[in-house]
């Protein structure tokens, strides 16, 4: 039997580790096997677990938000109009449908035969058909081919059939869990509260041990503390928050937790705890728009602005160095170096628009006139570009990127994007270094 465990993006491997542990020692003839981790970009990680036992232990996993049993799979689904027909055929005739329906019946208590079903279709990729077409193909296949009868509904369903098409691969699975698995019956929730599965993953990374004195200094509604309590025995749990509302939500959520649990209203900058009295700390810091901490938000906003500015300036610099290399090669070929440099100067001026490069350029041209060799001239040019860009970064942040632009950037890109940006900057820097090295070698 193939089970699909759905979790928060990035948590697939942690979810598998938890599943492996929960299933080991069960009654199944063989241990569980990881059959793959699929990313549904920006939405979920799906962990495929091959396991011959029943699904009950999977429904208690803390790092997982939903559990499914796989009824059909299809690979190399066409992106053109053949796709929905291939999906229909794969879902209708899959040999896994019978065992998957049995697993669903055992969990839901449904009787043999059909019932009402709903299809949830998701697509990622560049198919020439719509999500709706995938949903229709799956619904037709269920009605036409699954032991039934099955009736398609929009709500009030007995069975949820999830069809996820990522590029060319389709996963059609029956949902075994309900909403309570995501929310863990948590009583109170705050706007910045963590998703419980994410909190459980953070707790797992602290390697829970029975003698833990565990602290969340900015605990909000206490999600991390609840998950730590669920992860096994502990010596003490300490949580606090600066907000009365959060402390009251935390207390409500921790009411059922046994053992030594201490909740307080405090300012985490002055924790009323002895030095060396805590073993493990997990915290979800209050940065961001959501909870209205304007000072922190402005700090992040400015950092983002600076990152974006540096990236743009590096791109300009890269373009200018590429131009320089081209023109230098041309100059060598025609032995008309001075003329080529004039063209390059015009190109540099165009590229930098209104930024204050004129003076740098004039200084450079003067030095150039006094320099002797081609090598000296190239080195001067590259130095000039570097200094200009550095000056630009420190004094012209506001010119390179407007406030409106950066606001749009923040709305569109969150932390993941920032990580990607810094990778791109490293790549730009590396390319720039390589080009400079190339330019210097050629000058010799
Ligand atoms: C992102 S939220 C934490 C959410 C929490 N993990 C949950 O799941 O509900 C950050 C919390 O930090 C609290 N906070 C901000 N500044 C604080 C401070 N100086 N001391 C203690 N708590 C603070 C906020 O009131 C907020 O509840």
3-state secondary structure labels for all residues of 227-273: HHHHCCCCCEEEEEECCHHHHHHHHHHHCCCCCEEEEEECCHHHCCC
Contact 393, 310 (CB under 8 A): yes
Ligand 1 atom closest to 269 (CA): 19
Best probe residue, ligand 1, of 199, 203, 219, 265 (max atoms within 8 Å of C-beta):
219
Task: Describe the strand order of the beta sheet including 280-281 as a list of residue ranges.
Answer: 260-265, 236-241, 213-216, 280-281
How far is Cα of residue 51 from the mean position of the Cα atoms in its chain? 28
pLDDT at res. 397: 46
pLDDT of residue 242 exceeding 70, the answer is yes
**Does the CB atom of residue 193 touch ligand 1 within 6 A?**
yes
**Does the CB atom of residue 224 touch ligand 1 within 6 A?**
yes
| Centroid of ligand 1 to alpha carbon of 238 (angstroms) | 14
User: Residue 273 corresponds to which tokens in the numbers above?
Assistant: 């705890």
pLDDT in tens, 84-121: 999 999 999 999 999 999 999 999 999 988 999 999 99
pLDDT at res. 15: 97
pLDDT at res. 396: 47
**Does the CB atom of residue 220 touch ligand 1 within 6 A?**
yes
DSSP, res 20: H
Mean pLDDT, to the nearest integer, of 259-274?
Answer: 96
Residue nearest to atom 7 of ligand 1 (CA): 193
pLDDT at res. 86: 98
pLDDT at res. 401: 61
Q: How far apart are CA 211 and CA 259, in angstroms?
A: 12
pLDDT of residue 148 exceeding 80, the answer is yes
Mapping DSSP to helix (H, G, I), strand (E, B) and coil, where does residue 34 land?
strand
Contact 197, 7 (CB under 8 A): yes
Length of the chain counted residue by residue:
444
234-268 burial, b at 16+ Cβ within 10 Å, e below that, comes to bebbbbbbeeeebbebbbebbeebeeebebeebeb
pLDDT of residue 220 exceeding 60, the answer is yes
Question: Which run of H or E residues covers position 171?
Answer: strand 169-175
| Centroid of ligand 1 to alpha carbon of 417 (angstroms) | 24
Average pLDDT of every residue of the chain: 83
Nearest alpha carbon to residue 99 among 64, 61, 50: 50
Ligand 1 atom closest to 249 (CA): 9
How far is Cα of residue 437 from the mean position of the Cα atoms in its chain? 36
pLDDT band of residue 321 (cuts 50, 70, 90) is confident
pLDDT of residue 258 exceeding 90, the answer is yes
| Centroid of ligand 1 to alpha carbon of 287 (angstroms) | 9
Mean pLDDT, to the nearest integer, of 308-337?
Answer: 69
Residue nearest to atom 13 of ligand 1 (CA): 218
Residue nearest to atom 3 of ligand 1 (CA): 220
Residue with token string 């003698």: 211
C-alpha radius of gyration, the chain, whole number: 30
Question: Which run of H or E residues covers position 410?
Answer: helix 403-412
Cβ partners under 8 Å of residue 225, min gap 6 = 214, 216, 219, 237, 239, 250, 253, 254, 257, 261
Question: Which run of H or E residues covers position 93?
Answer: helix 82-93
Bridge pairing between strands 150-152 and 115-124:
parallel
**Does the CB atom of residue 223 touch ligand 1 within 6 A?**
yes
pLDDT of residue 444 exceeding 60, the answer is no
Q: DSSP secondary structure string, 61-87?
A: -SS-SEEEEEEEEESS--SSTHHHHHH
pLDDT in tens, 9-36: 999 999 999 999 999 876 777 899 999 9
| Centroid of ligand 1 to alpha carbon of 267 (angstroms) | 10
pLDDT of residue 299 exceeding 80, the answer is no
From residue 142, give the alpha-carbon distance in Å to each of 92, 133, 136, 151: 6, 14, 10, 9
Cβ partners under 8 Å of residue 270, min gap 6 = none
Nearest alpha carbon to residue 65 among 117, 25, 10, 20: 10
Q: How far apart are CA 77 and CA 146, in angstroms?
A: 21
Bridge pairing between strands 169-175 and 159-166:
antiparallel
Best probe residue, ligand 1, of 182, 225, 286, 292 (max atoms within 8 Å of C-beta):
286
**Does the CB atom of residue 192 touch ligand 1 within 6 A?**
yes
pLDDT in tens, 360-414: 555 555 655 655 555 566 666 666 666 665 555 554 444 556 666 666 666 665 5
Report the percentage of the chain scoring pLDDT > 90. Answer: 57
pLDDT band of residue 354 (cuts 50, 70, 90) is very low
Mapping DSSP to helix (H, G, I), strand (E, B) and coil, where does residue 54 land?
coil
Residue nearest to atom 25 of ligand 1 (CA): 243
Cβ partners under 8 Å of residue 89, min gap 6 = 141
pLDDT of residue 42 exceeding 60, the answer is yes
15-24 burial, b at 16+ Cβ within 10 Å, e below that, comes to bbebbeebbe
From residue 92, give the alpha-carbon distance in Å to each of 88, 124, 131: 6, 22, 18
Report the percentage of the chain scoring pLDDT > 70. Answer: 73
Contact 1, 94 (CB under 8 A): no
Domains of the chain, first to last = 2-182 (3.30.2130.30), 185-281 (3.40.50.150), 294-443 (no CATH)
| Centroid of ligand 1 to alpha carbon of 241 (angstroms) | 6
pLDDT in tens, 122-139: 999 999 999 999 999 999
**Does the CB atom of residue 190 touch ligand 1 within 6 A?**
yes
């Amino acid at each position: 039997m193939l089970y699909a465990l759905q979790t928060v993006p990035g948590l697939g491997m942690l979810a598998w580790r938890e599943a492996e542990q929960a299933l080991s020692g069960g009654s199944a003839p063989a241990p569980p096997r990881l059959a793959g981790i699929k990313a549904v970009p920006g939405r979920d990680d799906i962990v495929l677990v091959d396991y011959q036992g029943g699904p009950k232990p999977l429904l208690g996993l803390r790092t997982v938000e939903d559990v499914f049993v796989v009824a059909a799979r299809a690979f190399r689904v066409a992106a053109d109009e053949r796709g929905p027909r291939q999906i229909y055929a794969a879902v209708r005739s899959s040999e896994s449908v019978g065992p998957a329906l049995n697993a669903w019946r055992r969990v839901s208590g449904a009787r043999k035969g059909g019932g009402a079903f709903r299809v949830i279709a998701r697509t990622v990729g560049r198919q020439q058909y719509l999500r709706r077409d995938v949903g229709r193909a799956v619904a037709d296949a269920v009605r036409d081919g699954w032991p039934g009868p099955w009736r398609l509904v929009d709500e009030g369903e007995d069975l949820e059939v999830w069809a996820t098409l990522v590029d060319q691969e389709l996963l059609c699975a029956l949902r075994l869990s309900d909403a309570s698995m995501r929310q863990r019956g948590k009583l109170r929730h705050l706007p910045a509260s963590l998703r419980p599965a994410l909190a459980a993953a953070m707790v797992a990374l602290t390697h829970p041990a029975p003698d833990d004195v565990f602290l969340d200094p900015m605990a909000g509604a206490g999600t991390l503390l609840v998950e730590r309590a669920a992860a096994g025995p502990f010596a003490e749990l300490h949580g606090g928050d600066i907000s009365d509302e959060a402390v009251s939500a935390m207390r409500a959520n921790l009411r059922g937790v046994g053992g030594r649990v201490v909740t307080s209203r405090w300012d985490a900058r002055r924790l009323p705890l002895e030095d060396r009295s805590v073993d493990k700390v997990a915290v979800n810091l209050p940065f961001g728009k959501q909870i209205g901490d304007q000072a922190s938000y402005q700090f992040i906003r400015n950092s983002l602005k600076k990152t974006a500015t540096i990236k743009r300036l590096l791109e300009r610099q890269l373009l200018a160095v590429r131009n320089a290399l081209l023109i230098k090669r041309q100059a060598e070929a025609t032995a008309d170096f001075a003329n080529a440099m004039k063209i390059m100067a015009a190109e540099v001026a165009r590229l930098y628009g209104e930024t204050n490069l004129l003076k740098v350029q004039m200084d450079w041209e003067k030095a150039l006139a006094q320099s002797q060799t081609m090598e000296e001239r190239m080195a001067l040019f590259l130095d000039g570009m570097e200094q200009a860009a550095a000056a630009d970064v420190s004094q012209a942040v506001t010119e390179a990127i407007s406030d409106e632009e950066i606001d749009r950037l923040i709305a569109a890109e969150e932390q993941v994007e920032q990580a990607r940006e810094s990778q791109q900057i490293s790549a730009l820097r590396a390319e720039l270094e390589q080009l400079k090295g190339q330019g210097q070698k050629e000058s010799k």
